[in-house]
Copies of this chain bind each other. A is one copy, B any other.
Amino acid sequence: MDEPRSATRRRGRRPAGEDTRGALLAAARVEFAERGFEGATVRRIADRAGVDAAMVNHWFGGKEQLFTAALELPIDPDALLAQVLPGDPEELGARIVRTFVEVWDATGGGAMVALIRSIAGHEEAARMMREFVSRVIIGRVVEVVAPDRPELRAALCGSQIIGLGVIRFVVRVEPLASADTETVVATIAPTLQRYLTGELG
């Protein structure tokens, strides 16, 4: 990847390369914590970091990817949505569970432990996660299946997904900690599916 020389020359305050990336991440955490995902702007994050706004696209690809990187989620939202959204809406729960388990398993659960520690210990991380659950990932997933009570359904999905992560990777309760992906999908997907498209009671 090219070094963002134009920005550093323009402002003369930051060295090029990884330092720009790091400055953007630090600025993003402050901006997202203060204004939430929707309220934050790429321009203001770049200003806080002392670089040109084009550097956000250069280093991250856009606001969502910067948000994900700032939260240290092992997920690219666009890649995740491209994986789970296409296909039978009645199988959406299974695709969501499978994708999360595969993404988490790929990091040995370390990313999940870091995420839980972060949201339990820092209000700003909890707020960022709240935005992420409500609007970015699940909000868009729920929009696709277009049910009633979309916000409640999104929160319910979030509760089962994050609880699975805690039990499988943080507390490591057997047999769920060692269960293969298909066992996890078979047992938990019906829960997600009911929260997405079923009768809520």
Q: Is A152 located at the chain interface by the 8 A CB criterion?
A: yes
Contact across chains for A158 and B187 when beta carbons are under 8 A apart? no
Q: Is A171 located at the chain interface by the 8 A CB criterion?
A: yes
Chain A positions near chain B (C-beta within 8 angstroms): 113, 116-117, 119-121, 126, 129-130, 133-134, 151-152, 154-156, 158-164, 166-168, 170-177, 179, 183, 186-191, 194-195, 200-201
Contact across chains for A121 and B129 when beta carbons are under 8 A apart? no
B-chain residues with CB within 8 Å of residue A176 when the two chains form the complex: 152, 155-156, 159
A19 CB to nearest chain B CB (Å): 29
Count identical subunits in the complex: 2
CA A121 to CA B130, docked complex, whole Å: 21
Contact across chains for B134 and A170 when beta carbons are under 8 A apart? no
Contact across chains for A173 and B120 when beta carbons are under 8 A apart? no
CA A179 to CA B201, docked complex, whole Å: 14
Q: CB within 8 A of A191: which of B167, B183, B186, B194?
A: B194
Identity of the chain B residue whose Cβ is nearest the Cβ of A153 in the assembled complex:
B187
Given contacts A152-B187, A163-B159, A176-B152, contact A171 B121 (CB under 8 A): no
